[in-house]
Structure 1
Amino acid sequence: MTFDIAVMQVFNGVSLFTILLLMAIGLAIVFGLMGVINMAHGELMALGSYVTYLTAMAFSKFAPQWMGVYLFAAIALAFAATFAFGYLLERGFVRFFYNRPLDTLLATWGLSLILQQAYRSIFGAQEVSVPLPQWLSGAWEPVAGIQLPISRIFIIGLTIAVAVGVYLLLNRTRWGLKVRAVTQNRAMSEAVGIDTQRLDALTFALGAGLAGIAGCVFTMIGSTNPGTGQLYIVDSFIVVVFGGVQSLIGTVLSGFAIAQSQTTLEYLMSGSMARVTILLLVIVVLYFRPNGLFATRSRS
């Protein structure tokens, strides 16, 4: 493998890592706090993609002169829409399945099928795409022979900003302190006056909002269809479990390792064999480290 190809493979791995990380952070927060296996998380990502599509269509029709900055409005709207939907979803549906892992898994899987059909009915089965702002087109060529798409660089920067923001929210704010307290000991947190039900709803909504941002980012690298969310849900769960469900840093490192391994193996073998190899490696690691590589110690 030449140096140019190696650099491009690393960059492609980082590009895949950004989508996985945005999806996995939301899953890790919800799974770590509430123990909820949300199989509809991919459809929340698709919702963010469709909100981005609608935003692009609205700007192109009513404010074409602002198409260069529509993406920033789309990111905010995708987060807001999925955050609100996630809050309502937790209050009206998910909270009835707490402490029933199998029921939660089946219920959210059924919800994912319902949402897929809803998207199919509203937007059609065909794929939809959004225009890329002019300033994101083209590529940056740091040295001769190596071209890095500007859109991917923007995605990486956005992901870093989101990850840092979530880290600061969880580790430098009073709300984050409550989240960590409930994660470690829910009964004691309730005893000292923390409203765990409201905290659960807001945390689930935050996870949904992060999935919405992932959906917005996805529109920059691919087209959206009703089954878009299913492309990343399994890989995102693998990232969360592999890194440790209560470790944000573990989720980041796990996502990076899996994304880089997958892109490298896909270069050396077929895509399906690469995924099988990654899954086998994860199984072997979890056999020796069942709580994940970077799991934190917690009280029950």
Structure 2
Amino acid sequence: MFGDYTLGELGAILAMQGFAGLSLFSVFVLMALGLAIIFGQMGVINMAHGEFMILGAYVTFICSSLTASYAPALFPVYFFAAMALAFVASFALGLLVEWSMIRFLYHRPLDTLLATWGLSLILQQLYRSVFGAREVGVTLPDWLMGSVALTDLIEIPINGLFVMALTFLIAGGVYALMYHSTFGRQVRAVLQNRVMAGAVGINTRRVDRITFALGCGIAGIAGSAFTMIGSTGPTAGQLYIVDTFLVVVFGGAASLLGTIASAFTISQAQSTLEFFLSGSMAKVLTLLTVVGILMLRPQGLFTLNIRR
């Protein structure tokens, strides 16, 4: 597998695949952050999480098309507005879904799995009816195009650097929200002891609703980031949902640091193996490795010591 390459070529390949893996890492982190918040806080298995991501991608596509047609002078900066709108749209849909369906299914994980799987099929068909079955691509501003040459063999795409910067910004914002705000203290109180949190005056239903919507909103931002590395279709979200659950379980549910470490490990492994093997074999080897580690450490890489 490695014999056909010189040491210099092999180093360049590993570096390029490492940077490509960082783009995948960014999408994994943004997807897994929202899923970890939902699953860690409420124990809800949200199989429609990928469709919330695709909603953000379609909102970005609409913003791109409308700006190019009606306000071309604003095209260089439209992407920032698109990300904000993607968050708002996914957050609003998350509020609606939690109010109309999820709130009746708490403490029934298998029911939430089936209900959200059905929701994912409904949303896929809705996207197919509105946008068509074909995949669509987003036109990026010129300043997001091109690459930065580190050496003669290694180039880093600018949009990949932007996605990574966005990921660290969002992760930092989530950390600040969860550990340095009143809402974050309420979320952690409900996570540790729901009955006691309600007894001291915390509206646990409101915390659940906003937490679910927040996780969905972060998935919408992941959808905006996803448009930089791939085309958008009605079923594109399902391509990432299994990997995202894998990231959350491997890192440890409700652990922000574990989610980031898990996303980095899995994305780098997949990206590197895909160059030397087929994509399916890379996924199989990564999955087998993660399953083997979970057999030895079923709680994941990081855990939180809490009382139920």
TM-score (norm 2): 0.96
Query: Counterpart of 2:217 in 1: which secondary structure?
Result: helix
Deviations 1:187-211 (A, max 9, x none): 1111111100000010001100000
Q: Following the alignment from structure 2 to structure 1, what is the Cα–Cα distance between the partners of residues 192 and 275?
A: 42
Select 2:53's aligned residue among 30, 45, 48: 45
The answer on 1:230 being equivalent to 2:238 is yes
The answer on 1:199 being equivalent to 2:204 is no
Aligned to 2:6: none
Q: Following the alignment from structure 1 to structure 2, what is the Cα–Cα distance between the partners of residues 180 and 278?
A: 32
Shift of 1:82: 0.5
Select 2:121's aligned residue among 104, 113, 118: 113
The answer on 1:258 being equivalent to 2:266 is yes
Q: Following the alignment from structure 2 to structure 1, what is the Cα–Cα distance between the partners of residues 230 and 109?
A: 33
Aligned to 2:186: 178
Consecutive unaligned residues of structure 2, counting only runs of 5 or more, are: 1-8
Aligned to 2:294: 286
The answer on 1:15 being equivalent to 2:33 is no
One-letter code aligned to 1:13: G
Query: Counterpart of 1:228 in 2: which secondary structure?
Result: coil
Shift of 1:5: 1.3
Q: Following the alignment from structure 2 to structure 1, what is the Cα–Cα distance between the partners of residues 298 and 199?
A: 31
Shift of 1:268: 2.5
Q: Following the alignment from structure 1 to structure 2, what is the Cα–Cα distance between the partners of residues 288 and 180?
A: 28
Query: Counterpart of 1:112 in 2: which secondary structure?
Result: helix
One-letter code aligned to 1:10: G
Deviations 1:155-176 (A, max 9, x none): 1111110111101110111110
Q: Following the alignment from structure 2 to structure 1, what is the Cα–Cα distance between the partners of residues 303 and 287?
A: 19
One-letter code aligned to 1:187: V
Shift of 1:143: 2.2
Select 2:280's aligned residue among 272, 278, 290: 272
Q: Following the alignment from structure 1 to structure 2, what is the Cα–Cα distance between the partners of residues 264 and 53?
A: 30
Q: Following the alignment from structure 2 to structure 1, what is the Cα–Cα distance between the partners of residues 101 and 62?
A: 26
Q: Following the alignment from structure 2 to structure 1, what is the Cα–Cα distance between the partners of residues 26 and 287?
A: 19
Alignment of 1:48-63 (within 5 A): 48-63=56-71
TM-score (norm 1): 0.98
The answer on 1:248 being equivalent to 2:256 is yes
Shift of 1:144: 2.2
Indicate the RMSD between aligned Cα atoms, in angstroms: 0.9
One-letter code aligned to 2:192: Q
Shift of 1:222: 1.2
Shift of 1:267: 2.0
